[in-house]
Amino acid sequence: MKSIWISLFLLSVVFACQSSKEGYSDSSPSLLGTWELIDVFNTEEGETFNTFVKGRRMIKIITPTHFSFVNHDLKKGGDSLAFFAAGAGKYTLQGNNYSEHLEFCTARGWEGHIFDFEVEIRGDTLIQQGVEKSEDMGVDRYIYETYVRVK
């Protein structure tokens, strides 16, 4: 009986994977997958600065309907640079216009916001740029993020 349940589970995973590719072209690079942040620049009040923090790792996972991100320090919280942030939600993609609808976030003030970006894929590199704005949190900045595909 146990083997029947395992077989049904594996079969459902196969069907889920096949259906998750509907609407995506195999001829163009896909946004779907896991991406690691390798660089980020912010522009605020006319000044641009690099905000990538060495000693942290951030990944973004994009499925056919949702995105999520996790960012944490590499010393497992063992020093003064301890850090952890995560968030997730639905997204829309029309051409290169990508909008994240942030539903869950460790920084609760960001929840419920929609962030509009332009995305471009160059080989195994994802460029995501646009405005992060939250009047509630006093944030209004242009961001330019570079990710590489995690294999």
Q: Nearest 10 degrees: CA dihedral of 14, 16, 22, 27?
A: -40
Q: Is the dihedral of CA 30, 33, 38, 39 positive or negative?
A: positive
124: number of Cβ within 10 Å: 13
Give 71-99 pLDDT, tens digit per residue.
998 888 787 778 999 999 999 999 999 99
DSSP state, residue 109 = G
Cα 9 to Cα 14, 16, 45, 72: the distances in Å are 9, 10, 52, 32
Give 50-77 pLDDT, tens digit per residue.
888 888 999 999 999 999 999 998 888 7
Q: Nearest 10 degrees: CA dihedral of 104, 22, 20, 5?
A: 140
Residue 19 pLDDT more than 90? no
The domains located in the chain, with CATH, are 23-149 (2.40.128.490)
Closest CA to 150 of 1, 33, 9: 33
